[in-house]
A and B are shown apart, each in its own frame.
Chain A
């Protein structure tokens, strides 16, 4: 693939720059002198033609006999047929979890920890296979599933394995008890990692779980079910039921469940909150976002540009905490935009299994259509779109060229609604007050990024941002020791760290 120049570059309004029209680094050569040959990942994980539901330690056929296909979004090829769980299946899973609960909760923490350590080690041992599977089922670049998703999933199990026998030290004066049976519904953007975020703390605290992976990305969760079986986890402790919205609703509405943990859209989160409100169930929600990435003029600009890229183009922008609103101090706006364009011209969009791919496939046809709709609205409302590079996208599969909009007004749809794609809205500000008030002017409050070299400004800005996570001179950094969660309509409850345990302790 060519790293061709952003030939859309016209000379920008170079206010304050005395130089001639800003030069294009790559214009002279077209960027083709050092092509990277295809470097496809060679491992091909075994994928069964059909998968059942993992209930009570066994793969079973769904009572509905219904199945749905899961495809590779980069090729549109069918990967497997997956069982669709109905209410009866969910009921069986909840009963299995209930039956397993007393023995699991009664195990000494140290013994529960051993199971979690075993899962963690097995994830590491099967990392390459899991990474490829994650990439095939979800479309994310192999470089990310290999270096981020799978290692972090293992890290979450390791981290929570350590907590299992130390819960009374985590919360002195309390007798930590499990909540009970947990219904967990996870999204398609980090399939295995989200499963780990949900299952690891629940198990460490002595709960049993019924987990539903997203309908477009069930395969790694089913591999995790295999791993639970392989390491001898007692049957019923982890149950994995596949399906779409109806299956999720069956979990949410099941009276035998004590806690619901949901990660997904704010829209669905509100429905779940309503459904759960009149019941005894506890609830944590990790929902959408429209996070602000704020770049002050005294920031290390080249590194801040990396932070923009990391913030919005990581995982095709399918990240709830994506830095999708960029606020740049006016004095450095032209410089940042120029550098951003050049940096984007080096992004390699294409085959997710190629080790040099930076931006992979959009997760589903439906999501590609949603992104397309927002791109149209963005232009229609008067913002100017800048695409990354001119290289052809693959002919098959769901691909979207990373882009950003300038000339965005705070009232524009693309500045207010979560797009969940590689689309950035760029805005400017003049004073820190303005940056903070505009960053907070959103129904969401999941994350934010602040870029400045000045320590006092870092702490002042971070304190005044309504966001669950504020990254300082970095973006999209995750660690099991660090709690993650939202403000406002981005949800409530924390995952990770000591705070994350609270959601799973009565």
Chain B
């Protein structure tokens, strides 16, 4: 192995791929009905990191996204008979952080910024760290960093760890989410090892996250399960509690409650809050709203009944 120094890094257990796939699939057979479904939809809504990460993002788009984050649905009181809570955060590129920060000031919605040369991370470390510092200065409450996959895949785990620690320090008071980009790590063994490395380097309350959303496959249930198991082992061994964020590919309300069942049964309901679990998604929110309306009224509204942002 090339320069693999893992002296002060955790020894990761192996992951049996077939069994993980099978276990992850078992959560999709959970049947969530009636009040459980309403509770799950409401909970999922509060866990959404409403995301736009496009080269063509405009301040106007970010503004409307912020508006939707604070008040997910204008017609909630009229059609659901309740005021829906805001989502967890708005997730944008660093250039949009000032726009989001201004609009979200005084609300409970956090400003999350991708940083560290997102999505590839293929930049010198000082540029990546400055990226983080600038985003925090501009008002980001949360930083979604990417790990150095090149270093990881070539076995330079210590380098990966050192960089995560450096980013963590650059975050200051901002929370950190470490994106593993599992679609590029390919094997569950790699996902587990990267999770363990990240968990060893971050602070209690920080997150590990599956994907940038720019690489396919993004979040899958088995990949998320492997990461949840890493979080579980860390908690059982050290008492340190880490959060989890699957991102990319979670579009439907049904998928969201499958994930919630998985978190509930793998980590327990101590993780069932936006402080510990998030969905990185853009189209999920509207499907949650649609499903809520379906439960209330018995019929599905058209997609165009809900604003894009």
- Chain A interface (Cβ within 8 Å of chain B)? 3, 17, 19-20, 22-23, 25-26, 28-29, 31-39, 143, 147, 298-304, 306-307, 338, 346, 355-356, 453, 473-474
Question: What per-residue 1/0 map shows which CB atoms of B26-67 lie under 8 Å from chain A?
Answer: 000111111111011001000000000000000000000000
On whether the beta carbons of A17 and B237 are closer than 8 Å, the reply is yes
Q: Does B10 contact A (CB under 8 A)?
A: no
Chain A residues with CB under 8 Å of B229's CB are: 302
Chain B residues with CB under 8 Å of A453's CB are: 14, 16
CB nearest to B43 among chain A residues: A34
Q: Does B260 contact A (CB under 8 A)?
A: yes
On whether the beta carbons of A39 and B270 are closer than 8 Å, the reply is no
> A409 to chain B: closest CB distance in Å?
29
How far does the alpha carbon of A453 sit from the alpha carbon of B272 in the complex, in Å?
33
Q: Does B173 contact A (CB under 8 A)?
A: no
> B194 to chain A: closest CB distance in Å?
16
Contact of B269 among A17, A22, A33, A338 (CB under 8 A): A33
Can you name 11 extra interface pairs (CB under 8 A) apart from A23-B239, A33-B264, A143-B29? A34-B36, A34-B43, A34-B260, A36-B31, A36-B36, A302-B13, A303-B15, A306-B19, A306-B22, A473-B18, A474-B19
Contact of B30 among A25, A28, A38, A356 (CB under 8 A): A356
Chain A residues with CB under 8 Å of B30's CB are: 36, 355-356
How far does the alpha carbon of A298 sit from the alpha carbon of B43 in the complex, in Å?
38
Q: Does B166 contact A (CB under 8 A)?
A: no
Provided the pairs A34-B40, A37-B36 are in contact, do residues A300 and B15 lie with their beta carbons within 8 angstroms? yes
- Chain B interface (Cβ within 8 Å of chain A)? 13-16, 18-20, 22-23, 29-37, 39-40, 43, 229, 232, 235-239, 260-261, 264-265, 267-270, 272
CB nearest to A338 among chain B residues: B236
Q: What would 17 A/B residue contacts be, using CB atoms closer than 8 Å?
A: A22-B236, A23-B235, A26-B270, A28-B270, A29-B268, A29-B269, A33-B272, A34-B39, A36-B31, A36-B36, A37-B35, A143-B29, A300-B19, A301-B13, A306-B19, A473-B19, A474-B18
Chain B residues with CB under 8 Å of A25's CB are: 232, 235-236, 267-268, 270
CB nearest to B257 among chain A residues: A34
Chain A residues with CB under 8 Å of B13's CB are: 300-302
On whether the beta carbons of A298 and B14 are closer than 8 Å, the reply is yes
Provided the pairs A298-B14, A302-B229 are in contact, do residues A23 and B236 lie with their beta carbons within 8 angstroms? yes
Chain B residues with CB under 8 Å of A36's CB are: 30-32, 36, 261
- Please give me the 9 A-B residue pairs with the lowest Cβ-Cβ distance, nearest first: A303-B19, A39-B31, A33-B269, A355-B31, A300-B16, A303-B16, A37-B36, A26-B268, A25-B268
How far does the alpha carbon of A18 sit from the alpha carbon of B8 in the complex, in Å?
16
Chain B residues with CB under 8 Å of A32's CB are: 269
On whether the beta carbons of B14 and A307 are closer than 8 Å, the reply is no
How far does the alpha carbon of A28 sit from the alpha carbon of B237 in the complex, in Å?
17
> A391 to chain B: closest CB distance in Å?
15
Could you say which of B19, B23, B34 has the most chain A C-beta atoms within 10 Å of its C-beta? B19
On whether the beta carbons of A3 and B265 are closer than 8 Å, the reply is yes
CB nearest to A346 among chain B residues: B265
How far does the alpha carbon of A17 sit from the alpha carbon of B13 in the complex, in Å?
16
Main secondary structure of the interface of B (DSSP, over half): helix
CB nearest to B22 among chain A residues: A306
Contact of B16 among A33, A34, A355, A473 (CB under 8 A): A473
On whether the beta carbons of B268 and A31 are closer than 8 Å, the reply is yes
> B281 to chain A: closest CB distance in Å?
20
Chain B residues with CB under 8 Å of A473's CB are: 16, 18-19
CB nearest to B267 among chain A residues: A25
On whether the beta carbons of A300 and B14 are closer than 8 Å, the reply is yes
On whether the beta carbons of A34 and B15 are closer than 8 Å, the reply is no
On whether the beta carbons of B33 and A37 are closer than 8 Å, the reply is yes
> A101 to chain B: closest CB distance in Å?
43
Contact of A356 among B16, B31, B35, B268 (CB under 8 A): B31
CB nearest to B230 among chain A residues: A302
Chain B residues with CB under 8 Å of A346's CB are: 265
How far does the alpha carbon of A17 sit from the alpha carbon of B238 in the complex, in Å?
10
Chain A residues with CB under 8 Å of B260's CB are: 34
How far does the alpha carbon of A35 sit from the alpha carbon of B257 in the complex, in Å?
12
CB nearest to B32 among chain A residues: A36
CB nearest to B38 among chain A residues: A37
Provided the pairs A22-B236, A301-B13, A473-B19 are in contact, do residues A34 and B33 lie with their beta carbons within 8 angstroms? no
CB nearest to A298 among chain B residues: B14
Contact of A306 among B14, B23, B236, B261 (CB under 8 A): B23
How far does the alpha carbon of A346 sit from the alpha carbon of B27 in the complex, in Å?
12
CB nearest to A300 among chain B residues: B16
CB nearest to A25 among chain B residues: B268
Chain A residues with CB under 8 Å of B15's CB are: 300, 302-303
> A138 to chain B: closest CB distance in Å?
20
Chain A residues with CB under 8 Å of B34's CB are: 37
Chain A residues with CB under 8 Å of B236's CB are: 19, 22-23, 25, 338
> B101 to chain A: closest CB distance in Å?
32
Provided the pairs A34-B40, A355-B31 are in contact, do residues A303 and B269 lie with their beta carbons within 8 angstroms? no
How far does the alpha carbon of A372 sit from the alpha carbon of B213 in the complex, in Å?
53
> A483 to chain B: closest CB distance in Å?
21
How far does the alpha carbon of A474 sit from the alpha carbon of B16 in the complex, in Å?
10
> A45 to chain B: closest CB distance in Å?
19
Chain A residues with CB under 8 Å of B33's CB are: 37-39
> B200 to chain A: closest CB distance in Å?
14
> A298 to chain B: closest CB distance in Å?
7
Chain A residues with CB under 8 Å of B19's CB are: 300, 303, 306-307, 473-474
On whether the beta carbons of B237 and A147 are closer than 8 Å, the reply is no
Chain A residues with CB under 8 Å of B272's CB are: 33-34
> A451 to chain B: closest CB distance in Å?
8
Chain A residues with CB under 8 Å of B16's CB are: 299-300, 303-304, 453, 473
How far does the alpha carbon of A394 sit from the alpha carbon of B265 in the complex, in Å?
22
> B93 to chain A: closest CB distance in Å?
34
Could you say which of B232, B235, B267, B269 has the most chain A C-beta atoms within 10 Å of its C-beta? B269
How far does the alpha carbon of A39 sit from the alpha carbon of B257 in the complex, in Å?
15
Contact of A19 among B14, B36, B237 (CB under 8 A): B237
Could you say which of B13, B18, B32, B261 has the most chain A C-beta atoms within 10 Å of its C-beta? B13
Chain B residues with CB under 8 Å of A356's CB are: 30-31
On whether the beta carbons of B14 and A26 are closer than 8 Å, the reply is no
How far does the alpha carbon of A299 sit from the alpha carbon of B16 in the complex, in Å?
8
Chain B residues with CB under 8 Å of A299's CB are: 14, 16
On whether the beta carbons of A35 and B270 are closer than 8 Å, the reply is no
CB nearest to A33 among chain B residues: B269
> B288 to chain A: closest CB distance in Å?
16
Provided the pairs A19-B238, A300-B14 are in contact, do residues A34 and B20 lie with their beta carbons within 8 angstroms? no
CB nearest to B36 among chain A residues: A37
> A317 to chain B: closest CB distance in Å?
18
Contact of A29 among B35, B40, B238, B270 (CB under 8 A): B270
How far does the alpha carbon of A356 sit from the alpha carbon of B14 in the complex, in Å?
29
How far does the alpha carbon of A19 sit from the alpha carbon of B16 in the complex, in Å?
26
